[in-house]
């Protein structure tokens, strides 16, 4: 993408309304723009990151056997009245009346609807187990929306729902999601710590939240340091196998957020050197709630013996739009964002430092064509702005690799590759630049 044809409205000043670094950087780097309290438009660069995160979430959901659907944002109040949550949910639910004065609401979550959809078609144990997920915008009418997309009102969430014949099978489905969540966050460069959690308005008796560590986290986390080092299930994970050992390994070390923390247990179970205390940001949450929704909604299936039993379910959420903020909280420096490669909006920023020099223009145009042909996502700063502006903008938006072409180095026949994360600079002969970038990106050489 050529910057002269793109829409990247970076801000020079720190926006006054942004109190945490991710919010500040998202506004400054032109990722989002607030439209009204807690409601954001995603600008081109932010949209690309959102889509990258979504793609990883989708991929890992499918790997774990979940099936994608898409439920609407607007729901009828009826189902929620049947589950009892219509009144219970309080003012966070955005209530709406249509032109015929029927009660609607903007879905904050979808347990009722998905239970109704699934049970309208599932008849027996033969239709189970299943896990349906969707990635859809939700609305929670927060009293005081803040921290940018971290606590917005309209937010993008992956929510998945499992359906099983009995609680034992339901817990197997729960473990499948538990394991897939570990992998999902790891692929975004995040170490998410699973912690036993309260079930709140979703209900049920089994729940874990997944939090990443970041200075500006909303809660205090106490855990065993081992959790930061434990190895992840690999690509070859078999989700049909017994996942109990993996879940036990990950839930054995002490890990709790402040609301569940017990200092006495922490101190008795974890040696002083192994104690980790840090701020945490919740990025995912899994629940097993059995028949909490299937009973009031009369969502039953028949067992092999011909008995009719309510579905056993869990729900599984990942805050897709929130993750954009959470990742920035975890990866930034004074100059700006430092995107992990897997979710960077572009892999490479190509910077022409001599836009008025024909040899620089020619070299950059050739490199840009080569990078595109190699399928490397490149943002090409082909503007005529001065080098200082260009370089600090590239730092701010945080692409993993910068490829700089300037008149001085070009005379030596080289360009510079800079790694955003380390700041390391390498001079590379112009003819080898694309191959080197390919190698750095861990791809097969072009």
Q: Which residues contact a second copy (rule: CB under 8 A)?
A: 5-7, 9, 30, 33, 35-37, 39-44, 47, 50, 65, 67-76, 78, 91, 94, 96, 98-99, 102, 104, 106, 113, 117-118, 120-121, 130, 132, 137, 139, 141, 143, 153-154
Handedness of CA 201, 202, 205, 209 (dihedral sign): negative
Q: What token pair was written down for 240?
A: 């049909």
Element (H, E) at 267: helix 263-269
CB of 125 to a second copy, least distance (A): 13
Shortest Cβ distance from residue 354 to a second copy (Å)?
Answer: 20
Task: Single out the residue of 310, 172, 196 nearest to residue 259, CA to CA.
Answer: 196
Q: Which residue lies nearer to a second copy by CB, 40 or 210?
A: 40
- Specify the residue, 98 or 215, whose C-beta has the smaller distance to a second copy: 98
Least distance from a second copy to the Cβ atom of residue 306, Å:
19
For residue 89 the two structure tokens come to: 């949910």
Smallest gap from residue 37 Cβ to a second copy (A): 8
Shorter beta-carbon distance to a second copy: residue 22 or 110 = 110
Q: Give, in order, the Cα–Cα distances in Å from 35 to each of 38, 45, 397.
A: 8, 17, 21
Q: How near is the Cβ of 80 to a second copy at its closest, in Å? A: 12
DSSP string, 154-165: EEEEEEEEEEES
Nearer to a second copy (CB atom), residue 51 or residue 252:
51
Give the H or E element holding residue 367: helix 358-373
Which residues does residue 75 pair with via DSSP β-bridges, in sequence order? 105
Answer yes or no: are the C-beta atoms of 361 and 352 closer than 8 Å: yes
Of the pair 273, 384, the CB lying nearest a second copy is at 384
State how far the Cα of 115 lies from the Cα of 117, in Å rounded to an integer. 6
Instruction: Choose between 67 and 389: whose C-beta lies nearer to a second copy.
Output: 67
Burial of residue 215 (number of CB atoms within 10 Å: 0-12, 13-18, 19+): exposed
Q: Quote the least distance from Cβ 152 to a second copy, whole Å.
A: 9
Q: Residue 206 burial by CB count (10 A; 0-12/13-18/19+): exposed, middle or buried?
A: middle
If one counts every other C-beta atom within 10 angstroms of the C-beta of residue 288, the result is 28
Torsion of CA 58, 62, 63, 66, to 10 degrees: 120
Nearest alpha-carbon partner for 312 in 166, 111, 420: 166
Q: Supply the minimum distance, in Å, between the C-beta of residue 208 and a second copy.
A: 25
For a second copy, which is the closer residue by CB, 118 or 185? Answer: 118
- Residue 167, SS3? helix
Q: Which of 175, 420, 209 is nearest to 322 (CA)?
A: 209
The CB-of-358 to a second copy minimum distance in angstroms stands at 21
Nearest CA to 346 out of 401, 309, 293 is that of: 401
Nearest-approach distance from CB 144 to a second copy, in angstroms: 10
Nearer to a second copy, 99 or 408 (CB): 99
Closer to a second copy by CB, 9 or 413: give it: 9
Q: Backbone phi, then psi, for 200, in 5-degree steps?
A: 55, -145
């Amino acid at each position: 993408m050529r910057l002269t044809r793109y829409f990247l409205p970076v801000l020079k000043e720190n926006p006054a309304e942004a109190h945490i670094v991710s919010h500040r950087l998202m506004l400054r780097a032109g990722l989002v723009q607030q439209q009204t309290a807690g409601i954001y438009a995603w600008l081109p660069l932010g949209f690309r990151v959102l889509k990258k995160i979504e793609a990883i979430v989708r991929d890992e959901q499918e790997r774990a056997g979940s099936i994608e659907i898409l439920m609407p944002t607007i729901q009828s109040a009826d189902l929620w009245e049947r589950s009892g949550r219509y009144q219970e949910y309080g003012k966070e639910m955005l209530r709406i009346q249509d032109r015929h004065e029927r009660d609607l609401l903007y879905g904050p979550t979808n347990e009722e609807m998905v239970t109704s959809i699934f049970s309208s078609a599932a008849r027996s144990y033969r239709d189970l187990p299943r896990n349906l997920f969707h990635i859809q915008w939700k609305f929670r009418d927060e009293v005081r929306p803040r921290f940018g997309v971290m606590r917005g009102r309209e937010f993008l969430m992956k929510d998945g729902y499992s359906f099983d014949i009995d609680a034992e099978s339901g817990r197997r489905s729960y473990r499948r999601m538990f394991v897939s969540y570990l992998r999902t966050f790891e692929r975004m460069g995040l170490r998410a710590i699973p912690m036993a959690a309260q079930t709140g308005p979703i209900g049920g008796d089994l729940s874990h939240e997944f939090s990443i560590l970041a200075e500006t986290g909303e809660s205090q986390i106490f855990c065993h340091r081992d959790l930061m080092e434990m190895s992840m299930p690999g690509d070859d994970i078999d989700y049909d196998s017994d996942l109990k050992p993996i879940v036990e390994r990950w839930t054995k070390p002490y890990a709790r957020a402040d609301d569940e923390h017990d200092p006495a247990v922490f101190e008795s179970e974890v040696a002083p050197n192994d104690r980790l205390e840090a701020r945490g940001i919740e990025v995912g949450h899994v629940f097993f709630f059995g028949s909490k929704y299937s009973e009031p909604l009369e969502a039953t299936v028949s067992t092999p013996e011909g008995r009719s039993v309510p579905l056993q379910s869990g729900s599984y959420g990942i805050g897709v739009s929130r993750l954009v903020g959470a990742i920035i909280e975890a990866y930034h420096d004074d100059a700006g964002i430092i995107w992990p490669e897997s979710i960077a909006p572009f892999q490479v920023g190509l910077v022409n430092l001599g836009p008025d020099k024909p040899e620089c223009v020619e070299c950059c145009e050739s490199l840009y064509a080569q990078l595109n042909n190699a399928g490397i996502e490149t943002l090409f700063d082909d503007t005529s702005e001065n080098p200082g502006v260009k370089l600090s903008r590239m730092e701010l938006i945080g692409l993993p690799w910068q490829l700089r072409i300037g008149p001085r180095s070009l005379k030596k026949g080289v360009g510079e590759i800079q790694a955003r994360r380390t700041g390391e600079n390498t001079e590379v002969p112009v003819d080898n630049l694309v191959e080197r970038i390919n190698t750095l990106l861990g791809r097969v050489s072009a």
